[in-house]
């Protein structure tokens, strides 16, 4: 039995692929992360099969440069270029609420929304790690809880700023010499714990009213934040059971927050490794795993677990005594996912590094196009997903195979749209355009 309704699909383009050793394969593009034309081409390919969006991650520190492609073009700048060479596909950029100010970030997203004709989305992240904090005048990261409190106020301020111009504020009346009606442009006079912002924003209300708000943290605070603000959610779920539990929990929280659960799209990551036979897919997967540099993966694992690399001998299991999620101030949900995976499957550190190298905890899957389509359908039918964040293990080859061989199967099962029915990202998600909060109520004309 098929599901019979189109799902939402996002391409997560990280350069040379989501398997951390993808850049080492013969024929890879090791400088892809710095190649604007490459990002444009992949966005065009995703648009040709009616994906909802492309997505770019972001971090504000530099680590692990020796062993993997690192350094990246600012996502908002990159997607501005992509906006000019595409027409329909949504453009989702990551930006941190811990290391920006609402005024300039709200302006930059409104600019992308204007430039792209209403296709901007903001992946709101709180940015784990001391290395980032140390680039912004802090000795260490603020606590996890405080970062989410700041994120809450940040988004509230950004929303007020995006609304500070009413939709019809610009008159451009040459004869009267009136460019804008100033009674329709408002200060916001925000004073809160983290921010004081007078407003108004120095750019008019953008085509979507404001960009689609996307969220990607899955801790308790992260889920509550998503329930209050998000319109789409990216998440890493390793098993169908975890995916089902997360989906049900988040939809419940959205309802408790007084919002319509159907209005928030939940998009787990899937890392496909595609072969014309299962054996071929598994062979590619194994080849990628052989190229993983275990010591470099262990350094990252140690950071995620709050340990020193020396505490993680490669051929032993994780130590019995580990911090608890409460003690982790970085990425709480990924910490728990990693520890549960290692314990459940009784993995050594080397094996765990291998498993994480192929998708950082997202659902990796090596198989034929049929099997990949079956997995997608199963997760959606069972109630673990409204769509998927497609994160091919190798890029561009993995996405080219997905487009050529998986998309036709999804199409024949009615699981992907065959045409765009709208232009904006909100329209792709079936979301209404938010009315501006300061909009002057229309006075009904007097009846005579």
- Tell me whether residue 122 or residue 165 sits nearer to ligand FMN (CB atom): 122
Least distance in angstroms from the C-beta of 440 to ligand FMN: 37
Least distance in angstroms from the C-beta of 269 to ligand FMN: 5
Residue ranges in 345-429 assigned as alpha helix (H): 349-357, 369-382, 397-401, 407-412, 425-429
Q: List b or e across 240-265, with b for residues whose CB sees 16 or more CB atoms inside 10 angstroms.
A: bebbbebbeebbebbeeeebebeebb
Least distance in angstroms from the C-beta of 300 to ligand FMN: 14
Least distance in angstroms from the C-beta of 19 to ligand FMN: 15
CB 340: neighbour CB atoms within 10 A?
14
Give yes or no for a cis peptide into 238 (omega within 30° of 0).
no
Positions touching ligand FMN (CB under 6 A) are: 57-59, 94, 125-128, 144, 216-219, 221-222, 234-236, 269, 331-334, 389
- Tell me whether residue 88 or residue 147 sits nearer to ligand FMN (CB atom): 147
- Tell me whether residue 223 or residue 428 sits nearer to ligand FMN (CB atom): 223
Angle CA(304)–CA(306)–CA(312) in degrees, nearest 5? 85
- Tell me whether residue 109 or residue 165 sits nearer to ligand FMN (CB atom): 109
Least distance in angstroms from the C-beta of 31 to ligand FMN: 20
Of 430, 412, 413, residue with least CA distance to 421: 430
Give yes or no for a cis peptide into 139 (omega within 30° of 0).
no
- Tell me whether residue 131 or residue 423 sits nearer to ligand FMN (CB atom): 131
Q: Is 311 helix (H, G, I), strand (E, B) or coil?
A: helix
- Tell me whether residue 74 or residue 280 sits nearer to ligand FMN (CB atom): 74
Asked whether 9 and 265 are in contact (CB, 8 A), the reply is no
Least distance in angstroms from the C-beta of 331 to ligand FMN: 4
The owner of tokens 């924003």 is: 201
């Amino acid at each position: 039995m098929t599901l019979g309704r189109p799902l939402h699909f996002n391409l997560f383009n990280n350069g040379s692929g989501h398997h951390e050793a993808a850049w080492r394969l013969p024929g890879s593009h090791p400088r892809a992360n710095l190649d604007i034309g490459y990002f444009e081409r992949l966005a065009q390919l995703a648009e040709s099969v009616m994906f909802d969006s492309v997505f770019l991650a972001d971090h504000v520190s530099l680590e692990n440069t020796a062993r993997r492609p690192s350094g990246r073009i600012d996502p908002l700048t990159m997607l501005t270029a992509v906006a000019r060479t595409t027409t329909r596909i949504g453009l989702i950029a990551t930006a941190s609420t811990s290391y920006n100010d609402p005024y300039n970030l709200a302006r930059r997203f409104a600019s992308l929304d204007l430039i792209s004709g209403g296709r901007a989305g903001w992946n709101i992240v709180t940015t784990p790690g001391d290395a980032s904090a140390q680039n912004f005048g802090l000795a260490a990261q603020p606590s996890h809880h405080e970062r989410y409190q700041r994120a809450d106020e940040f988004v509230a301020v950004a929303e007020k700023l995006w609304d500070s111009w009413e939709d019809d504020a610009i008159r451009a009346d040459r004869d009267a010499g009136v460019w804008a009606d100033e009674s329709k442009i408002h200060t916001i006079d925000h004073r809160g714990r983290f921010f004081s912002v007078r407003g108004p924003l120095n750019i008019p209300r953008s085509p979507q009213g404001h960009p689609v708000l996307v969220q990607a943290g899955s801790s308790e605070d992260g889920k509550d934040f998503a329930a209050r603000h998000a319109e789409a959610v990216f998440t890493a779920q390793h098993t169908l059971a975890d995916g089902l539990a997360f989906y049900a929990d988040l939809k419940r929280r959205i309802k408790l927050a007084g919002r319509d659960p159907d209005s928030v799209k939940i998009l787990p990551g899937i890392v496909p490794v595609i072969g014309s036979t299962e054996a071929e897919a598994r062979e590619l997967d194994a080849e990628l795993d052989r190229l993983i540099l275990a010591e470099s993966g262990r350094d990252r694992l140690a950071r995620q677990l709050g340990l020193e690399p020396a505490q993680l001998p490669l051929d032993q299991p994780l130590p019995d005594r580990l911090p608890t999620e409460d003690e982790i101030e970085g990425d709480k949900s990924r910490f728990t996912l990693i520890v549960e995976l290692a314990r459940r499957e009784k993995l050594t550190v080397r094996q765990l590094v291998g498993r994480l190298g192929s998708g950082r905890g997202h659902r990796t899957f090596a198989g034929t196009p049929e099997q990949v389509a079956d997995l997608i359908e199963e997760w959606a039918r069972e109630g673990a997903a409204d769509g998927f964040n497609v994160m091919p293990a190798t890029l561009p080859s993995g996405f080219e195979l997905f487009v050529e061989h998986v998309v036709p199967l999804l199409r024949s099962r009615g699981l992907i749209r065959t045409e765009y029915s709208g232009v904006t990202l909100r329209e792709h998600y079936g979301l209404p355009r938010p009315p501006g909060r300061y909009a002057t109520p229309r006075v009904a004309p007097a009846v005579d």
